[in-house]
Structure 1
Amino acid sequence: MPKVSEQYRKDRRRQIVSAVLNCFARKGIKATSINDIIVESGLSAGAIYGHFSNKDELVLFVVSEVFELISEQSELNQAQAEVQHPAQLIRSLVDHLRMEIGSPALLLQIWGEAVTEPKVRELFTSVYGVLISHFAASASSWFQHLGLDRAAADQRATELMPLLIGIGQGYILQTTLIEGFDEEGYLKSFEQLLSA
């Protein structure tokens, strides 16, 4: 029997993850069955179970992939040479998620899972720490750009973090649940709030 290459395994996992994301978007995490994923992916049960031993393991892997995307984007935001308004950090993150996973609505489901699933909560807590760190560094740069010294900018950025994360979560929640939600108006009002 020919040996399966690492690239082949990665491609199959990517195919499975794509199928899982489609199923989660259509049916939700709890209602999605392994059979749904088999049908969506076009793979056999053996191919799925060759990579993941059960649905819980698969869900955890997909959640970790989504959180990895969030971490990567927050690193990119921080590394940008151009100083960004904190509202732009939220816009960049949500735009990146849309490009990679479709609707950011999946995050609402993941947050729900984090309430009752310790392993998902652990992943969420880890990513939350990364977001806080990167967003705080970017926000500090923005406040320094406005004329604050480094210490004052760091303090202001640290104070802002719970609000910034909450604004981001509110943006994702309302974008997902409210028909005709004015995304630009929401972010502009946040910009005005910080400028007041």
Structure 2
Amino acid sequence: MARVSQEHLDARRRQIIDGAALCFARNGFHATSMQDVLKEVGLSAGAVYRYFRGKEELIGAIVGEVLEWLQATFEEAAKQTPPPPPDVLVGRALAQVLSRRSGVEEGEASYFPRLIVQVWAETLRNKELAAVMNEGYAKVRVAWVKIVEGYQAAGMMRDDVPADRVARVMVAAAQGFVAQLALFDEVPVEALQDGLRGLMSMGKPS
């Protein structure tokens, strides 16, 4: 029997994660069964359970993957001197996250904002998922603290406000924008970038 390549295994795992993410975004975690996932990805139960034992592992894999990607993105930005401006950096990260359209029909909005809101809700009742979220968020916030410190060192941002507090607000801005996309209407990422530039332009009244 021919040995299955690692490339094939990785591609199959990717297929399962993307299909499950789309299912969860459509109907929520509790209304989605493993049978729904199997149908979406077009695989047998044995093929899927080879990678994931159930919905809980799938949810954890999806969340962990996104958080790791965001952490790596912001850590790379923190290495630059100075880091890219907040509007550029946040806009770039959101645009790339929202571009994930696997299984989405042409013209349909990205499913990722809906999925992220589903994850937040599930985190309130799922201790294991909450632990993954808390750990991932902490790492992303640490990366953002380094970015803010880079702004302060370059004279791009006032340095009399603790970097951690600024980092929390920058993360909250991105999270709030995602919530608007999921709950209300589809707004281009450029709207968030313009808003951030407007806020950063504030000075003392003349």
Place the TM-score, normalised by the shorter chain, in its bin: 0.7 to 0.9
State the 1:124 CA deviation.
0.9
State the 1:45 CA deviation.
1.0
Structure 2: stretches of 5+ with no match in the other structure: 102-109
Q: How does 1:30-179 map to 2 (within 5 A)?
A: 30-81=30-81, 83-100=83-100, 102-105=110-113, 106-146=115-155, 153=159, 155-179=161-185
Contact 2:97–2:112 (CA under 8 A) maintained in structure 1: yes
Alpha-carbon separation, structure 1, partners of 2:165 and 2:84: 18
- How many residues end up aligned between the 2 structures? 193
Shift >4 Å, 4+ stretches: none
Contact 2:148–2:163 (CA under 8 A) maintained in structure 1: yes
State the 1:144 CA deviation.
2.6
TM-superposition CA deviations, 1:78-110 (whole Å, max 9, x none): 234553222333212211212346443121111
The alignment partner of 1:32 has SS state of: coil
Question: What is the aligned-residue RMSD (CA, Å)?
Answer: 2.5
Alpha-carbon separation, structure 2, partners of 1:61 and 1:184: 30
Contact 1:94–1:104 (CA under 8 A) maintained in structure 2: no
| Structure with higher RCO (Cα < 8 A, 6+ apart) | 2
State the 1:140 CA deviation.
2.0
- Is the helix fraction higher in 1 or 2? 1
Which TM-score applies when normalising by structure 2?
Answer: 0.80
Identity of aligned residues (%): 26
Contact 1:140–1:157 (CA under 8 A) maintained in structure 2: yes
Structure 1 stretch displaced more, 61-70 or 72-81: 72-81
State the 1:58 CA deviation.
2.0
Contact 1:19–1:41 (CA under 8 A) maintained in structure 2: yes
